[in-house]
Structure 1
Amino acid sequence: MALNVGDIAPKFELPDIDLKMRTLDEFKGKKIVLTFIVAASSPVCENELCNFRDSWSEISNLGAQIVAISNDGPFANKAFVQKNNFNFPLLADYNSKTIRDYDVLMPHLLHIKDYNAAKRSVFIIMEDGKIGYKWVSEDPLKEPNYDEIKKFLN
């Protein structure tokens, strides 16, 4: 079932790079820029998350928190975070449950049977827990419109 703007964002509980379980509820009180990436350490995902890292203070000043999710395990995510000095959580949805809950599952990545990943997507969850903005790409090489995201937050 596709999520739409105005729907309540599905809750999650996922491990971060230090194996600490993180929940959607812990970020309440701010807007949440929830970004799903295709694969840790892939070039386009690295570019995307570095762009969010470099926009961190601007996005934070707009009252928002960035949270990234990949279907990679916490150890692959940790290497990716350490290499790039990301200043926001990267959570491991290694069984793709949250990816399915947000209806952004991309099965058979690169035509490899059962290699599931997340479609590159961004949801902005408002302070009331509802989705205020949604962008989902069928093309794993397409990055989100960062200016549009900042304009929405403003």
Structure 2
Amino acid sequence: MTSLKEGDKAPNFSALNQDDKLLTLDTYKGKKLILYFYPKDSTPGCTAESCNLRDNYSELLDLGYEVLGVSADNSISHKKFIANNELPFHLLSDTEKEVINAYDVWGPKKFMGKVYEGIHRTTFVIDEYGLIERIFTKVNTKEHTAQILETYK
């Protein structure tokens, strides 16, 4: 769905996390970032994806990656989602869809024969210079970390 390409400069963003703290792309300057967009807190696929990243978080940190999730849920929802699943990383609350639109991951989706607007599950791996290294549009929610790391072996 996204019009961004590998090698593009990652769009800057500015949004509040679960604690209403402002985070930007510059917050992660000099670090590699796994920026994952997911449709909704506490849904089966989104929980599986987030928990897979949680379960492999220390390995990702050892490899120099930080993880940041983004959805249109509010900070209250994010706090519950983090607490219920013991997520060690931040989640951005993008209720106005500014970051979602900057990364071009919002659009028509089809489920059970119905078309609706929503977030296309997409992950961007951004290098320490702010360039997009990899884009995953076909996310395996239960094995997403392996899917990401496989491309770097």
Q: Are 1:24 and 2:25 matched, yes or no?
A: yes
Q: Distance in 1 between matches of 2:150 and 2:15?
A: 29
> Identity rate of aligned residues, in percent?
34
User: Where in structure 1 are there 5+ consecutive unaligned residues?
Assistant: none
Q: Are 1:123 and 2:124 matched, yes or no?
A: yes
Aligned length: 149
Q: CA deviation at 1:153?
A: 4.9
- Aligned Cα root-mean-square deviation (Å): 2.0
Q: Would the alpha carbon gap of residues 66 and 153 (structure 1) be closer, same or farther in structure 2, given more than 3 Å must change?
A: farther
User: Where in structure 2 are there 5+ consecutive unaligned residues?
Assistant: none
Aligned to 2:89: 88
Q: Distance in 1 between matches of 2:152 and 2:35?
A: 13
Aligned to 1:149: 148
Q: Which moved more, 1:58-67 or 1:144-153?
A: 144-153
TM-score, normalization by structure 1: 0.88
Q: Distance in 2 between matches of 1:25 and 1:35?
A: 17
Q: CA deviation at 1:16?
A: 0.8
Q: Distance in 2 between matches of 1:135 and 1:67?
A: 15
Q: Would the alpha carbon gap of residues 109 and 41 (structure 1) be closer, same or farther in structure 2, given more than 3 Å must change?
A: farther
Q: Would the alpha carbon gap of residues 136 and 85 (structure 1) be closer, same or farther in structure 2, given more than 3 Å must change?
A: same
Of Structure 1 and Structure 2, the greater strand share is in: 2
Q: Which amino acid aligns with 1:79?
A: K
